[in-house]
Amino acid sequence: MALKSQPRVRVPAQAKAGEVIEIKTLISHEMESGQRKDAAGKTVPRDIINTFQAAFNGKPFFTAEWFTSISANPYQSFFFKAKESGEFTFTWKDDAGAEQKATAKLTVA
């Protein structure tokens, strides 16, 4: 099952060998904490994105575990030292088992 939203990822298309680049990601998700009640007074079940992972050429290099205090539409930025050309894969997983993936290519000159 996939998450319903389309993630947004910003990765430079090119970098020099050894250059540190910033990667920015954003995904739309309501991030229901499980502490709110609906109109009938019943607790709305928790439904958050709980794991984010970034991999380069199939090797994970960044993982974040998110908890109920994370905001809706979570934004994550981090840095990566470019050594070779390849492809990033970004994966978000939520409490319901749904996941969303995005990819981006990097050329190292």
pLDDT for the residue 4: 72
| Cα torsion 49, 14, 21, 17: sign | positive
pLDDT, one tens digit per residue, over 27-56 is 988 888 888 898 999 998 888 899 999 999
pLDDT in tens, 77-108: 999 999 999 999 999 999 988 999 999 999 99
Q: Taking CA 11 as the corner, what is the angle to CA 2 and CA 75, rounded to the nearest 5 degrees?
A: 55
* Token couple for 78: 């981090």
Total residue count of the chain as it appears in this document: 109
Residues 6+ away with beta carbon under 8 Å from 86: 56, 57, 105, 106
Retrieve residue 32's tokens. Answer: 């229901």
> pTM to 2 decimals?
0.89
Q: Does position 8 have pLDDT exceeding 90, yes or no?
A: yes
pLDDT at 82: 97
